[in-house]
Amino acid sequence: MGMIKLRDINDNWKNTIFSLPFPAELMARDRYRTISWNVHMSDPDEERVNDAQTGTSAHDGLFRLKPLMNTIQNACKAFYHPHRNIAVDQHMVACKGHTISNDFKLFVLADSSNGYTLDFSVYTGKNNFPTVQGLSYDSVMSLIDIKYLGSGYHVYMDDFYTSPKLFKDLLAFKFGACGTYRDSRRDCPRSDVNVLTKKSPGGTYRWIRDGPLVYVKWMDTQEVSVCSTIHAAYTGDTVKRRVKSRQGVWSSQSFPCPSPVVEYNKFMGGVEEFMGGFPGELIQYYTAQHKTMKWYRKLFIHFLDIAATNAYLLHKELMQNMHKDSMTQKAFREELTEQLCGVTQTQKAPVKEDSDLHIPVCGVELNTDGGKKAHANRKTCAYCRKHRGKQAKTLWKCRACHVYLCLLPERNCFNAWHDEE
């Protein structure tokens, strides 16, 4: 269902011109709906005990999901060890209609080179995510598992997380850090030494050092502020920008760019493509989520999307190491679906006979005299007669059931009739 998007889940089983034979061959609609509505990832009796504690400190908002979530988290760590550069980011899972909030926020640790999800945590509110140093600090530290990662990594993050205390504490664990920062953040330097103005020309940069931390400001189309414990302020890097001259002529020019900015764009900007941010949305390409899902089912599907996407990224990594071409994500998911459903490419889906398809056809014979085609062989619409008490005449009939039905822009009895079946 994540491969082919339909407006309604039930459309996967409808016997129409757009019918899909595979879902119906695999499972009856009612069986799918029964399983979907009653899926549990934890003991239902224990769920009821937890629900009774709603509003108290003992209540766990993620209790229904914990068994699956822990399994996915352990699998993410067990089958892959990351490259040196990793990134912390977040994405939202929209879940309307539950008592916690309208959206779940996932804090994610990913490999910057390919977007592989190394670990994640789910934020459902202050009651379920207690913080000591603040949410931005604790969300990062909760993802840094020293036993799993070891040390020597470079962690990239955006200005929601960056703080001097976090970077110094990461350095104590032998983790370098680099990220954009906010001037208003506590302990960030406020000095005329590294101030830029709106009139500063493009490529202008200022920097200031505070022990192991270097704070850099650089003027691009707007001011960019980056803090790092890894890089020198400037090592000769340049970037190209298109510039318009006074004569109105556009040209490409090179501008100096501080090393922390270059590395941040390389290792943080790239990972956003994989983790669900603009523009890649790799995890969201083939998700099976739809609007009417309950909140825990949406997170259930999202966890499966993470697992499937990680599996695809492992496939790409293996093929790259073997100097072979990898499959596209679409082809990979098709093969994954075949294996999970126990079918093979040689097993063709059953093809319906044309006579079994509910397709509107004209009831007028082709050899009817041209002057009589407008009225010849018109029959009473079965739907109008049954539901409207009218004797509306129509030329159109269903090829499969031979029932005459109206097919007009303002009155589509053909669809209404077959929706009842």
Least confident of 318-327, 360-369, 391-400: 360-369
Q: Percentage of the chain with pLDDT > 90?
A: 39
Q: Give the pLDDT confidence score for residue 94 in this predicted structure.
A: 72
For range 313-319, the mean pLDDT: 94
Q: Give the pLDDT confidence score for residue 123 in this predicted structure.
A: 85
Least confident of 209-213, 279-283, 409-413: 279-283
Domains of the chain as residue ranges with CATH: 9-51+62-341 (3.90.350), 354-419 (no CATH)
60/369: higher pLDDT? 60
Nearest to 86 by CA among 140, 131, 159: 140
3-state secondary structure the chain: CCCCCCCCHHHHHCCCCCCCHHHHHHCCHHHHHHHHHCCCCCCHHHHHHHHCCCCCCCCCCCCCCHHHHHHHHHHHHHCCCCCCEEEEEEEEEECCCCCCCCEEEEEEEEECCCCCEEEEEEECCCCCCCCCCCHHHHHHHCCCCHHHHCCCCEEEECCCCCCHHHHHHHHHCCCEEEEECCCCCCCCCCCHHHCCCCCCCCCCEEEEEECCEEEEEEECCCEEEEEECCCCCCCCCEEEEEEECCCCCEEEEEEECCHHHHHHHHHCCCHHHHCCCCCCCCCCCCCCCCCCCCHHHHHHHHHHHHHHHHHHHHHHHHHHHCCCCCCCHHHHHHHHHHHHHCCCCCCCCCCCCHHHCCCEEECCCCCCCHHHCCCCCCEECHHHHHHHCCCCEECEEECCCCCECCCECCECHHHHHHHCC
Burial 250-273 (b: 16+ CB within 10 A, else e): eeeeebebbbbbbbbeebbebbbe
For range 97-118, the mean pLDDT: 79
Residue 5 above 80 pLDDT?
A: no
Q: Give the pLDDT confidence score for residue 59 in this predicted structure.
A: 84
Q: Give the pLDDT confidence score for residue 259 in this predicted structure.
A: 94
356 pLDDT tier (thresholds 50, 70, 90): low
Instruction: Encode pLDDT of 227-257 as tens digits.
Output: 999 999 998 999 999 888 888 889 898 999 9
Nearest to 262 by CA among 243, 280, 236: 236
Residue 366 above 60 pLDDT?
A: no
279 pLDDT tier (thresholds 50, 70, 90): very low
For range 111-131, the mean pLDDT: 81
Q: Give the pLDDT confidence score for residue 399 in this predicted structure.
A: 84
For range 209-226, the mean pLDDT: 93
Residue 275 above 60 pLDDT?
A: no
Q: Give the pLDDT confidence score for residue 280 in this predicted structure.
A: 40
278 pLDDT tier (thresholds 50, 70, 90): very low
Residue 297 above 70 pLDDT?
A: yes
183/347: higher pLDDT? 183
81/126: higher pLDDT? 81
Q: Give the pLDDT confidence score for residue 108 in this predicted structure.
A: 93
Instruction: Encode pLDDT of 141-157 as tens digits.
Output: 999 999 899 899 999 99
Chain-centre distance of CA 89, in angstroms? 13
Prediction pTM value: 0.75
**Spatial CB neighbours of 3, under 8 Å, sequence gap ≥ 6:** 286, 330, 333, 334, 337
Least confident of 90-104, 377-391, 405-419: 90-104
For range 189-203, the mean pLDDT: 82
